[in-house]
Every structure is written in C-alpha cells, then in structure tokens.
C-alpha cells in the first residue's frame, strides 16, 4: 500500500474532520504541531551555523499561520528568522501568532509598495521558508505575491516549501511554470497530488492523524521514527 | 548564573504573562508543547520496546491536561498509553483533549470507588507518567488521590513526574513524605523550588519562553540542543 497523494478537496475534508466537534482539535494545536514540523525539517537540512538567516514568507491564510509558528520555533532553535508577510491574515489567531513572534524580537519586513525591502532581506538571507500559499490556493497569483515570488526564485537561495510550493496548482503541480522550485518540501498530514513529480528532499509532518482517520482516508502514512515530528520520504527513482 | 528554581507564585506569574494579551499564547498552544515535551522525555528514558505500556495519571487541573496531551503523543510514538483520570477536569479544553485520546483508541480506566481497576492496570503497566498535581497543588491530598498515590508508589514501577512529583509541596518538596518518588522529572518552563533535592534524571521542557521573559525573571534556562523540545540537566553532585 503506497502513500496516498491528496486532492485539495480531500485535504480540506481531513482538516475539517480533525477540527469538528468529534475530532476535537483546535486550530491552535494543529498549527503549533504543523509549524514545529516545518521548523524541524528546515533545521534538519540547513544547520544554523551555515544558514542562520531564514526569510520566512507568509501568506494571508492558514499556511501563513504555519509559517509564523515555524518562525517562532526557528528563533527558539537559534536561527535569525525574518518575516515577509506583505498581506497579514485577518483572523485572531494570526494576530496572536504574529504577537508571539514580535515578543521574540523577530523582525518583520514592513509592508511596502516597492520590493526593495524584500530584495534587501533576500541579500542577507541564507534560506527561504515558503509558507505563502497552501492547499486552498487557486491561481492566478495576485498582488503583492505576483511580484514577490519571482524575486524569491531569482535570489538563488535554497527554498523549503510548506505543503505545496507557492504558485503550484495543488493537484496539477507547476503547470503554469510560475511557481517556486523548492529544494525541500514539508507536506502536512499527507502530500498533495500536485507534488507527485517533486524530486527534492521531501518530509511529511503533522503527526496528529488518529489511526481511524488514516484508515478511513486510506492515507498509508509513513512510519515516523521515534518521537520525531517529521519523517523523510525515500527518494523516488 | 545558575538556573533559577521558581516559587509557586512565580510559576503562576510566568504562565499568566505568556497567556495575557501581550504574551498572546493560548493555553492550547502551551499545553501542546508541554505535553509533547513530557512524552519525549519519557520516550528518551523508557524505550517503547521494553516499556510499551504507560499508565498516564491525570489530575483535574492543567497538569492533567498536559498528561492528556502526552498520552496522545505517546500513542503516536507507538506506546500503549492507558489513562487514569478519576476526577476529570471540567474545562472545555480537558474535554477536547480527552476526546482526542478517545479518537486514538486510548483506553481510560472507568471511574470507580474501589481501586481494583487501578491495581489491574498497574499490574500490566511498565512505566507511570505522573501528571496528577502541578505547581498550584496545595495539600493535603484529597480523595480519590489519597488512596491512588500509595498504589502508584507500591507498584514499584518507574515514574516520570511532570513539573512537581505528586504529593510534594511545590516549594518545600516531599516534606510530608507522602509524595511519589519519581525516577525522572520533567520541569515545565523552569524547575520549582521543591525539586532542588531531586537527584534522578531531570529534564526541562516548554521551549516557548521568549528571551525577554527569561531575562525579566532571571530564569537562566539551559540551552536546548538542536530542535529538541527537552533539555536534560547535568546530574548534581
């Protein structure tokens, strides 16, 4: 039985089942574990001595929330994260997650109509955590991200993408050719259909799916080692 | 500068500062990370092949909530946790954390006036996670825990205590002599005054204290390794 790659609809359904009354999880819990997994995957591949400066790029949705949690944990791990969040989420949880980063003295690039501040930050960054768009992304890429994504690509920096590389169609992949090309991918709960062709280092995180839910959706998740919050998938031929 | 051991009042104050409007943390987040740290500390010392059956003893307060989170993560790690929670907490978060354990098919010992069910569970357990009383405990030990704690002690099983061994005075330690004698202690955020004399394996967990708060309260926390959620303290002479 091989690992199941999820449609956008199925990923949404799993999230809903985790958080409905029966599933009983709060978004705070799931985001905390998801963001921690992202931070640990980045730390596994890019050590803090060689790659201390992490540009954490956050979109306005749940994906951005995962990014903020990851930024905080990266700060705890001894990295110097900087947040690029040109379109802050409006939900209460984003404001709280952002305040937690502020309390850690994690800098955020001020919103701006020109891209020079982002370019400055890129020039002093060692690695990018891409938490811009998640599994509910539907193109086309809108402003301000239409101008930001090419800058991330052109920076030549290594990229760790969360769940689905930003700009990729969740089910079809990088069909428009405008998406990021990450070196590392962290799929949350289970990989999405669009990343079937991904050939970089691929981790799965979000170790909170009850066995009954895994069986119901025939996820065939890989076995996480020990008490780790991430598991690396074997490289595909 | 040495690690600070906290009064009960100071521990309470730190929790409040983390969760007030400025601190911005939800109890869901802090409990998730605290419980994960407890589960990871237990897994570090007692591997799941030799110690698969963990009796997770939960009190009615926040400590019990940490225990429920730990039980769920232990289940994820491949242990067989069983919950002893004779006096369930009334807060909404306990009900949700308990439902999350139910969804993982983690068994709970049914409430009962006699102790035979607890004794049965002890006889098939390999290790105890003690999350009965936390830093807000004030003696004397009330029913049903007055009869339960001696059974835990008499079982001869290894015990991992969370924050303060149950039955110990938070600041004075095991002065009444009725407290558990754990082999392993997981202090959350920072150790409490009452465990100064503890000589077993001692971990600190709760990797979420911003530097500014650490400095304000002069905690002098140990450095966590890598992306770990726990750090073991050196054995004291």
Q: pLDDT tens digit string along A129-157?
A: 999 999 989 889 999 999 999 999 999 99
Q: What is the CATH number of domain B8-232?
A: 3.40.50.10260
B163 touching chain A per CB within 8 A:
no
Domain boundaries, chain B: 8-232
- pTM attached to this predicted model: 0.97
A77 contacts in chain B (CB < 8 Å): 224, 226-227
B95 contacts in chain A (CB < 8 Å): 24
Using CB atoms and an 8 Å cut-off, which of residues 82-111 of chain A contact chain B? 95-97, 99-100, 103-105
CA–CA gap between residue B142 and residue B175 (Å, rounded): 17
Token pair of B38 as six digits: 């407890």
What is the predicted pLDDT for the residue at A236? Answer: 65
Instruction: Please tell me which residue of chain B has the smallest CA distance to A39.
Output: B227
B49 touching chain A per CB within 8 A:
no
Percent of chain B surpassing pLDDT 90: 95
Binding region of B for (6S)-NADPHX: 62-66, 134-140, 163
pLDDT digits (tens, 9 = 90+) for A38-95: 999 999 999 999 999 999 999 999 999 999 999 999 999 999 999 999 999 999 999 9
Nearest to B55, CA basis, from B116, B108, B111:
B108
| 3-state SS, residue A105 | coil
A81 contacts in chain B (CB < 8 Å): none
CA–CA gap between residue A172 and residue A195 (Å, rounded): 8
Half-sphere exposure of A157 (CA within 13 A, CB side): 27
B44 contacts in chain A (CB < 8 Å): 227
What is the predicted pLDDT for the residue at A237? Answer: 55
Query: What is the average per-residue pLDDT within B122-147?
Result: 95
Using CB atoms and an 8 Å cut-off, which of residues 206-225 of chain B contact chain A? 207-208, 210-213, 224
Token pair of A132 as six digits: 């811009």
Q: Which residue has the tokens 């001869």?
A: B156
Q: Which residue has the tokens 């929670």?
A: B85
CATH superfamily of A16-186: YjeF N-terminal domain (3.40.50.10260)
CB within 8 Å: A104 and B73:
no
What is the predicted pLDDT for the residue at A114? Answer: 86
Nearest to A95, CA basis, from A58, A147, A134, A142:
A58
β-pairing, B230-232 with A159-162? unpaired
Q: Which string of b and e fits A38-63 if b means at least 16 CB within 10 Å?
A: bbbbbbbbbebeebbbbbbbbbbbbb
pLDDT digits (tens, 9 = 90+) for B52-94: 999 999 999 999 999 999 999 999 999 999 999 999 999 999 9
Instruction: Please tell me which residue of chain A has the smallest CA distance to B27.
Output: A28
| DSSP label at residue B194 | G
Query: What is the average per-residue pLDDT within A209-217?
Result: 97
């Amino acid at each position: 039985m091989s690992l199941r790659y999820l449609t956008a609809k199925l990923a949404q359904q799993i999230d809903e089942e985790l958080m409905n009354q029966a599933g009983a999880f709060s978004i705070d819990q799931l985001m905390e574990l998801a963001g921690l997994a992202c931070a640990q995957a980045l730390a596994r591949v890019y050590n803090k001595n060689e790659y201390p400066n992490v540009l954490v790029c956050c979109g306005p949705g749940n994906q951005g929330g995962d990014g903020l949690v990851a930024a905080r944990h990266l700060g705890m791990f001894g990295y110097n994260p900087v947040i690029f969040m040109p379109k802050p989420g409006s939900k209460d949880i984003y404001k709280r997650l952002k305040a937690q980063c502020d309390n850690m003295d994690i800098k955020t690039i001020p919103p701006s109509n020109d891209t020079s501040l982002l370019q400055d930050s890129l020039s002093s960054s060692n690695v990018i955590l891409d938490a811009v768009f998640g599994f509910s992304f539907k193109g086309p890429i809108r402003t301000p991200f239409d101008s930001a994504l090419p800058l991330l690509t052109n920076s030549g920096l290594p990229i760790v993408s969360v769940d689905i590389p930003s700009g990729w169609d969740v089910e079809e992949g990088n069909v428009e050719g405008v998406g990021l090309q990450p070196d590392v991918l962290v799929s949350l709960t289970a990989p999405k259909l669009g990343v079937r062709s991904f050939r970089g280092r691929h981790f799965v995180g979000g170790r909170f799916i009850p066995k009954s839910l895994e069986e119901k959706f025939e996820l065939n998740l890989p076995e996480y080692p020990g008490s780790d919050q991430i598991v690396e998938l074997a490289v595909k031929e």
